[in-house]
C-alpha cells in the first residue's frame, strides 16, 4: 500500500451512510459497475457513470497499487431493445448477424467515447453473450434452492422466498404494488416476481437450456459476470441511481439466494443523474445528446467540446448530486482546465506523486470538487513563484485524475507554428527599436488568425518574453 494515503470512506447506498472502506482482500480490491446496453450510442449520462467509476478505479489503484484492483464493467449485448434495433436497422439480414452488427458497432463507439473522456480501460469488460453458461448455472441453483420456479415457459425468481428483498432500495413488494403499475401476470406467484429466463421464438436470439431454447432475463447477466470475475462476495458494486431498483435489488436477490451468502457486495455506490439545460434529458424535449455528438459535432452550444472538458464538467459536482449540464458549465470547466494546464505544461509527471491534499479529498467519498480547490492552489503557487516542484506536482496530479497537461494548449494542426514564431521574433525586434506601431500591428494580425499573445518579463533579467496560444 502506498504510504501516506488516508483511509477511504465511501457512501454506501445499502446503509445510507458514509463508511470507512475496508477491502475484503487488500491484495485484490474488486469492483463491478453496470455498463451500457449497447443498442445505441452512449449519451452523456452514460458518460457520467463511466467517469465516476473511473475516478474510483484510479483512486483505488493509487491506494492499493495498480495490480491490486480488479474493475469489471460489463457490456450488455443481449436485450430486447437490441433485437428491435437490429430488426429495424438491418431488415434484410439474418437476425443474429444483424444483432452482431448492432452490438459491435455500438460497443466500439462506446470504447472510443469513454476513452475520449479520459477513462482507463477496466480490467475486464465481459459480454453477456459470453456468459450464458454462468447464468444458466445460477438459475439452476436458484431452482434447486426453491428461489425460482418455472411457469408458462419462463423461469421466475420468487421474491417472497427472500426475506431481505427490498433492503437496498428501502422498499417492499407491498409498496411496489401500491403504484399499481407492476404487470400482473396470471402465471406469476407474486406480481413482483421477475424473469430469469424466457423462451425465444425461432426468429429471436436464443440458447439451449434445461428450460428450452431461450434467453436470459434482464438482471441475471450481472450476477453471472460479477461471480465469474470477482467471486460470490466482492467489495464495491456501482451504477446509476436508477439501477437501485429493480436492477441491483434483483441482482442481490439472485446472487445471494443462489450462493447462500449474506451479501453480494459490501458497498453499493450510485451516481446521480443529470439534466440538460434544466430539463430531464429526453429525445422529445430535444435535449438528448450522445457523447460522440458533443465530441464531434457542433450540436451543443454551437461548437465541439474536448473529452477532458466534458470529464471535468462532470466531476465539478459531487458524483451523488444531480448535475444540470449546460453550455456555461462546459465553458467554466474549459477555463479551469486551461488554467491548470497553463501552470503544468511542459512539466513531467514522472517520479512525482499526486498532491496529498487532492488525494485526501478524493479519499473522502470521491469529493473531487474539494480536490479541485487544491489544484487551484497548486496552480496559483506555481504561477506566483514559478516553482518547479509545484508544477511537477500539478502535472502528476492532473495525470492521475485523467487530464493531460497540455491538451487545450496544444498547437492546432492548422496553425503555422513557424510563421507565428517568426512574427513574434519580428515583434520583439520592433520593441528593441521602440517601434510600438509595428509591434501592435503584428499583434493585431496574429489576433485575426486567432493567436493571442501574452507578454511577461523574465524575473531575472527583466527581458521581455512572449507566449502565445490559440484563442477560439
Partner RNA sequence: GGCCUCGUGGCGGAGUGGUGACGCAGCGGAUUGCAAAUCCGCGUACUCCGGUUCAAUUCCGGACGAGGCCUCCA
Q: Is the dihedral of CA 435, 439, 440, 445 positive or negative?
A: positive
Contacts of 11 (CB under 8 A, 6+ apart): 17, 18, 19, 269, 320, 365
Q: Is 440 helix (H, G, I), strand (E, B) or coil?
A: helix
Stretch that binds RNA, among 132-140, 143-151, 314-322, 387-395 (CB under 7 A): 314-322
Q: Is 284 in the site for RNA (CB under 7 A)?
A: no
Q: To the nearest whole angstrom, how small is the minimum distance from the Cβ of residue 220 to RNA?
A: 12
Enter the C-alpha cell of residue 199: 423462451
Q: Which is nearer to RNA, 238 or 307 (CB)?
A: 238
**What is the C-alpha separation between 383 and 238, in angstroms, rounded?**
39
**Is the Cβ–Cβ distance between 295 and 116 less than 8 Å?**
yes
Q: To the nearest whole angstrom, how small is the minimum distance from the Cβ of residue 144 to RNA?
A: 26
Q: Is the dihedral of CA 253, 256, 259, 265 positive or negative?
A: positive
Stretch that binds RNA, among 54-62, 235-243, 390-398, 409-417 (CB under 7 A): 235-243
Q: Which is nearer to RNA, 127 or 247 (CB)?
A: 247
Q: Which of 192, 194, 196, 243 is nearest to 217 (CA)?
A: 196
Stretch that binds RNA, among 113-121, 133-141, 155-163, 242-250 (CB under 7 A): 242-250
**What is the C-alpha separation between 468 and 424, in angstroms, rounded?**
9
Q: Which is nearer to RNA, 342 or 404 (CB)?
A: 342
Per-residue binding string, RNA, 261-280, x by CB under 7 A, is ----------xxxxx----x
Among 32, 149, 218, 234, binds RNA (CB under 7 A): 218
**Which 41-60 positions form the footprint of RNA (CB under 7 A)?**
43, 45-46, 48-49
Strand 148-151: give its sheet, edge to edge. 148-151, 154-157, 194-199, 214-216
**What is the C-alpha separation between 31 and 54, in angstroms, rounded?**
11
Q: Is 251 in the site for RNA (CB under 7 A)?
A: no
Q: Is 168 in the site for RNA (CB under 7 A)?
A: no
Q: Which is nearer to RNA, 247 or 304 (CB)?
A: 247
**Which 360-389 positions form the footprint of RNA (CB under 7 A)?**
367, 369-370, 373, 376, 380, 383-384
Among 30, 58, 73, 318, binds RNA (CB under 7 A): 318
Pairing, β 234-240 against β 29-33: parallel
Q: Which is nearer to RNA, 100 or 369 (CB)?
A: 369
Among 324, 388, 412, 426, binds RNA (CB under 7 A): 324
Stretch that binds RNA, among 85-93, 208-216, 319-327, 398-406 (CB under 7 A): 319-327
Burial degree of 444 (CB within 10 A; 0-12, 13-18, 19+): exposed
Apex 71 CA angle, 66 and 77, nearest 5: 145
**Which 4-23 positions form the footprint of RNA (CB under 7 A)?**
16
Q: To the nearest whole angstrom, how small is the minimum distance from the Cβ of residue 171 to RNA?
A: 5
Q: Is 443 in the site for RNA (CB under 7 A)?
A: yes
**What is the C-alpha separation between 323 and 317, in angstroms, rounded?**
7
Burial degree of 269 (CB within 10 A; 0-12, 13-18, 19+): buried
Q: To the nearest whole angstrom, how small is the minimum distance from the Cβ of residue 383 to RNA?
A: 4
Q: Is the dihedral of CA 171, 174, 177, 183 positive or negative?
A: positive
**Which 61-120 positions form the footprint of RNA (CB under 7 A)?**
79-81
Among 440, 441, 445, 463, binds RNA (CB under 7 A): 440
**Is the Cβ–Cβ distance between 158 and 190 less than 8 Å?**
yes
**Which 453-472 positions form the footprint of RNA (CB under 7 A)?**
453-457
Binding residues for RNA, total number by CB under 7 A: 73
Q: Which is nearer to RNA, 145 or 380 (CB)?
A: 380
Q: Is 431 in the site for RNA (CB under 7 A)?
A: yes
Q: To the nearest whole angstrom, how small is the minimum distance from the Cβ of residue 234 to RNA?
A: 18
Name the packing angle between helices 388-401 and 327-344 (round to 10°). Answer: 140
Q: Which is nearer to RNA, 298 or 440 (CB)?
A: 440
Per-residue binding string, RNA, 186-215, x by CB under 7 A, is ------------------------------
Amino acid at each position: 500500500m502506498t504510504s501516506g494515503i488516508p483511509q477511504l470512506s465511501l457512501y454506501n447506498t445499502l446503509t445510507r451512510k458514509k463508511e470507512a472502506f475496508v477491502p475484503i482482500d487488500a491484495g485484490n480490491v474488486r469492483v463491478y459497475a453496470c455498463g451500457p446496453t449497447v443498442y445505441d450510442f452512449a449519451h452523456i449520462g452514460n458518460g457520467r457513470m463511466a467517469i465516476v467509476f473511473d475516478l474510483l478505479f484510479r483512486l483505488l489503484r493509487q491506494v492499493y497499487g495498480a495490480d491490486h484492483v480488479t474493475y469489471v464493467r460489463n457490456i450488455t449485448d443481449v436485450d430486447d431493445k437490441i433485437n428491435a434495433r437490429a430488426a429495424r436497422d438491418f431488415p434484410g439480414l439474418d437476425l443474429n448477424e444483424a444483432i452482431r452488427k448492432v452490438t459491435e458497432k455500438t460497443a466500439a463507439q462506446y470504447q472510443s467515447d469513454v476513452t475520449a473522456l479520459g477513462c482507463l480501460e477496466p480490467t475486464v469488460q465481459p459480454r453477456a453473450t459470453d456468459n450464458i453458461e454462468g447464468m444458466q448455472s445460477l438459475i439452476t441453483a436458484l431452482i434447486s434452492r426453491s428461489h425460482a420456479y418455472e411457469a408458462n415457459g419462463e423461469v421466475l425468481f420468487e421474491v417472497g422466498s427472500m426475506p431481505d428483498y427490498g433492503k437496498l432500495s428501502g422498499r417492499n413488494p407491498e409498496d411496489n404494488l401500491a403504484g399499481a403499475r407492476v404487470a400482473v401476470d396470471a402465471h406469476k406467484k407474486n406480481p413482483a416476481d421477475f424473469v430469469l429466463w424466457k423462451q425465444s421464438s425461432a426468429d429471436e436470439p436464443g440458447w439451449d437450456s434445461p428450460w428450452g431454447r431461450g434467453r436470459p432475463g434482464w438482471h441475471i447477466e450481472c450476477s453471472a459476470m460479477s461471480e465469474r470475475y470477482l467471486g460470490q462476495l466482492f467489495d464495491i458494486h456501482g451504477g446509476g441511481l436508477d439501477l437501485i431498483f429493480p436492477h441491483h435489488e434483483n441482482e442481490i436477490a439472485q446472487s445471494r439466494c443462489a450462493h447462500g451468502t449474506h451479501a453480494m457486495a459490501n458497498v453499493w455506490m450510485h451516481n446521480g443523474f443529470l439534466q440538460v439545460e434544466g430539463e430531464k434529458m429526453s429525445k422529445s424535449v430535444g435535449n438528448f445528446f450522445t457523447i460522440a455528438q458533443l465530441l464531434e459535432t457542433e450540436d451543443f452550444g454551437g461548437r465541439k467540446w474536448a473529452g477532458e472538458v466534458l470529464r471535468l464538467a462532470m466531476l465539478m459536482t459531487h458524483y451523488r448530486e444531480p448535475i444540470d449540464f449546460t453550455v456555461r458549465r462546459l465553458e467554466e470547466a474549459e477555463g479551469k482546465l486551461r488554467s491548470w494546464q497553463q501552470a503544468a505544461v511542459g512539466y513531467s509527471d514522472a517520479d512525482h506523486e499526486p498532491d496529498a491534499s487532492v488525494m485526501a479529498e478524493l479519499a473522502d467519498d470521491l469529493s473531487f470538487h474539494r480536490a479541485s480547490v487544491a489544484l487551484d492552489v497548486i496552480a496559483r503557487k506555481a504561477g506566483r513563484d514559478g516553482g518547479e516542484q509545484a508544477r511537477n506536482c500539478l502535472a502528476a496530479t492532473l495525470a492521475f485524475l485523467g487530464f493531460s497537461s497540455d491538451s487545450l494548449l496544444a498547437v492546432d494542426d492548422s496553425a503555422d507554428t513557424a510563421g507565428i514564431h517568426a512574427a513574434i521574433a519580428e515583434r520583439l525586434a520592433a520593441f528593441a527599436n521602440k517601434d510600438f506601431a509595428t509591434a501592435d500591428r503584428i499583434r493585431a494580425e496574429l489576433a485575426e488568425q486567432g493567436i493571442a499573445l501574452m507578454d511577461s518579463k523574465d524575473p531575472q533579467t527583466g527581458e521581455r518574453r512572449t507566449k502565445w496560444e490559440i484563442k477560439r
